[in-house]
Structure 1
Amino acid sequence: MGHDQEEEETPPATPTTTASAARKDQEEETWNHQKQTLILELSEKLITGDLQAKIEAARDIRKVVRKSSVKTRSKFASAGVIQPLVFMLLSPNLDAREASLLALLNLAVRNERNKVNIVTAGAVPPLVELLKLQNSGLRELATAAILTLSAAAPNKPTIAASGAAPLLVQILSLGSVQGRVDAVTALHNLSTCKENSTPILDAKAVSPLINLLKECKKYSKFAEKATALLEILSMSEEGQVAICDSDGGILTLVETVEDGSLISTQHAVGALLSLCQSCREKYRELILKEGAIPGLLRLTVEGTSIAQERARTLLDLLRDSPQEKKLASSVLEKIVYDIATRVDGADKAAETAKRLLEDMVQRSMELSMNRIQHRAASCTPAKVPSA
């Protein structure tokens, strides 16, 4: 019975289905042959043609690649198109630059090997030169190309050392919406380069990043990258001053702690913690003034393990300030209770709130004890020198 059922589920091939499959295979083989011929023709035209022929070939490569698979991108690379396209980036003819740039950009998408080969062929210096142009269209295409190429780990050291970063920072202020998004993502890619010993960002990036963070949804992927860059900048004295001096700088980070995704809240609280640890007297009052306490308390419950630890550490630092001591215990309890209600529901809120407050008290006592011990150690009488 089972054998009969098996035969019913898998009917024998008929002459019609066999012929159909064969025809389909034949059509696919013919198409692949045509495509391979086209690839070789365009490659030849790009390598040996005059300037106009090269521009037309680059445009055709872009058209073919846009509608094709990763395999086709690899075949174009094997046909030797990358190096002549990179040479075209140096052309004084803007049409040639644009055509080659678009072709390279499409060859690099979703193809790691092509990305590495494009950088190896020397694409980065001419791309950096394109970032300096007044032509906003070419400048932003170059930004998109650097974003795409910087996604490949082997390319990051070359791009990070190329001088592209300060030019990308300029685009944070001057570019279109897409240009600014691409610049932030490219800078974020470069910031993860382990081999780069010198920082890729300086304090000039703070103000445009704060402005972009104000405008975007705090839980977006874009906000995650912007806050990651701000956290890096908050580790330098110049970056700290720039965050403080930016219009709404600290407030924007506090709002991200309140409304951000798990990743953006982790970076935002990291930036605020860097500020407070660098100069507690200066920054804790500014952070408190922007109403950071409720968001930080919520983060001790809802954040990533790193964010929770950072929020607790920052709360401990803020709690030392005279202004924070004025916060009545009943108000603090209400804030904690409201957070606990949102996290665990009304029936468990009292228990959760009690646990949170006990944890805060315990941490406060531990800190106080550490300070007392430190003070005692520093006051130990020096040994009396022997006569």
Structure 2
Amino acid sequence: MDKFDGSNDVGSVLLDQPFKLWSKIIDTVSCGGGGKRPKKNSESKRKINLKQQPRSDKLSELLKEPECWENEEKDEEVRRKEETLEELKRVAKKLQQQSSLELVLEGTTEVRRLAKEDSQARTTLALLGVIPPLVALLDAEDPTSNSQIAALYALLNLAIANDVNKDAIVRAGALHKMLKLIQSPNDSTNRAVAEAVVANYLGLSALDSNKPIIGSSGVIPYLVKTLKDFDGTSSYQAKHDSLRALYNLSIETTNLFPILETDLIPYMLSKLGDMDVSERILSILSNVVAIGEGRKAISNVPDAFPTIIDVLNWTDSPGCQEKASYILMVMAHKSYGDRQVMIEAGIVSSLLELTLLGSTLAQKRASRILECLRVDKGNQVSGNCGGGGLSAPLCRTSNQLKEPLEEDDDMISQERNAVKQLVQKSLQNNMERMVERANLPHDFVPSDHFKSLSSSPTSKSLPF
């Protein structure tokens, strides 16, 4: 029995061990793979959370930084504006110190510097009242003219792209003071003053409301005189400023009459071959032909039409061709006598070439002129027949109608041959220009295809 009990104890022990092993496996599975691993995971999660906490704080700070930067930038901008305003106020106060010419000149120099490139400074300085003292400085007695030159360039910079300031300068009485300064540009000092005055007139004349005021102030003869005085000198800018100021003034019709009272028209026609000023001269002449007195003044200049017609031949500039053709078109439309002079000057061949090689606008204007000349020629034929507005064939008698129109046929064939020759010549000239631009050898021979094109009856596409 004892042995049996002992064997039972041993068996019970052996039986208990499998149960304990299974209980451990069950506990392990139920706890997620071990008793200590969950504890380790919780600690690692806690550590990760601890590490991420400062990162989230830093991220929030970074997100907040742009707002801070924006506020700081705004504060900095406000501070700069306040400093600039204080500086402009100090400059304006210097100009008010009439008892000290040195302070006034210092303030004038600063106005010129500040208004040169800062549009806001121009507006603010004008609101602070710097224009009247600057205009008054033009009357200062200064043998060296330094004060006048400083004031002129300060006013010039204040008027840049600011129509309000342009109007205020004219209303302050600057025109007559400037005119007084340029009446005798003899020495180098007065020449420098004249350059500054002309630059101011150019800037002020850009405003439409100032054009009639400037024109009636008597400055046009002095602008013409300055243009001629500076011609051929080193004052390249002054010459162009004078010409551009005259162009601005010529836009106003009332200013054309004082322009015609000067010798500007003959002078400009004599300078029409200068490429630097030709387009500007043609622009002024385009405004002058708007009135009958202007057209008469142009036609009265010797060789005026050959000079203008020659522009169509020697220049490749579309602007020059378009303006020259406009002048000729207006004058041909308005005056029968001018048409005859144009024909005698050889305008037809130049217009035919322009219809082939010119810009679109120049081609249209050339066609208009040719049409005008053709209609005028038809009116001449009908007038010779005594039939008023009737065409030439209807003026024939009954016997003449029975005769063959050999004379008319000969005339038409001659005109067609002339047109054909002109077209061939124009095409050949164009080919030579293309060869020169392409740097091809001078002995370059056109292809047979090009020769066939030049010999084809292309006159059908011409306006007449």
Q: TM-score, normalised by structure 1?
A: 0.73
- Tell me if 1:127 matches 2:186: no
Paired position in structure 2 for 1:303: 361
Query: For 2:287 and 2:313, how far apart are their aligned partners in 1?
Result: 16
Amino acid aligned to 2:458: A
Q: Match for 1:312 among 361, 370, 380? A: 370
| Closer, same or farther: CA 307–32 of 1 in aligned 2, 3 Å | same
| Closer, same or farther: CA 82–301 of 1 in aligned 2, 3 Å | closer
| Closer, same or farther: CA 201–281 of 1 in aligned 2, 3 Å | closer
- Give the unaligned 5+ runs of structure 2: 1-59, 381-410, 434-448
Query: For 1:317 and 1:90, how far apart are their aligned partners in 2?
Result: 61
Give per-residue Cα distances to partners, 1:81-119, cap 9 Å, x unaligned: 111111112223211111110100000001111111111
Paired position in structure 1 for 2:345: 287
Query: For 2:287 and 2:270, how far apart are their aligned partners in 1?
Result: 17
Q: CA deviation at 1:209?
A: 2.2
Paired position in structure 1 for 2:248: 189
Q: Match for 1:156 among 211, 217, 222? A: 211
Query: For 1:227 and 1:27, how far apart are their aligned partners in 2?
Result: 53
Q: CA deviation at 1:158?
A: 0.4
Query: For 1:12 and 1:278, how far apart are their aligned partners in 2?
Result: 86
Aligned-pair Cα RMSD in Å: 3.9
- Give the unaligned 5+ runs of structure 1: 1-10, 361-387
Paired position in structure 1 for 2:140: 91
Paired position in structure 2 for 1:118: 169
| Closer, same or farther: CA 89–209 of 1 in aligned 2, 3 Å | same
Amino acid aligned to 2:107: A
Query: For 1:352 and 1:104, how far apart are their aligned partners in 2?
Result: 63
Structure 1 segment 1-387 matched on structure 2, within 5 A? 14-49=63-98, 50-68=100-118, 70-93=119-142, 94-134=145-185, 135-175=190-230, 176-194=235-253, 196=255, 198-202=257-261, 204-216=263-275, 223-233=278-288, 235-242=294-301, 244=303, 250-251=306-307, 253-256=309-312, 259=315, 261-273=317-329, 277=335, 279-280=337-338, 283-284=341-342, 287-288=345-346, 292-298=350-356, 302-303=360-361, 307-308=365-366, 310-313=368-371, 316=374, 328-335=418-425, 353-357=458-462, 359-360=463-464
Per chain length, whose mean CA-contact separation is higher, i.e. which structure has more relative contact order (CA < 8 Å, sep 6+)?
1
Asked if 2 retains the 8 angstrom alpha-carbon contact of 1:131 and 1:142, the reply is: yes
Asked if 2 retains the 8 angstrom alpha-carbon contact of 1:172 and 1:180, the reply is: yes
Larger mean CA deviation between 101-110 and 251-260 belongs to: 251-260
Amino acid aligned to 2:246: L
| Closer, same or farther: CA 194–329 of 1 in aligned 2, 3 Å | closer
Amino acid aligned to 1:66: K
Report the count of equivalent residues: 339
| Closer, same or farther: CA 116–281 of 1 in aligned 2, 3 Å | closer
| Closer, same or farther: CA 116–306 of 1 in aligned 2, 3 Å | farther
Q: TM-score, normalised by structure 2?
A: 0.62
Query: For 2:176 and 2:109, how far apart are their aligned partners in 1?
Result: 22
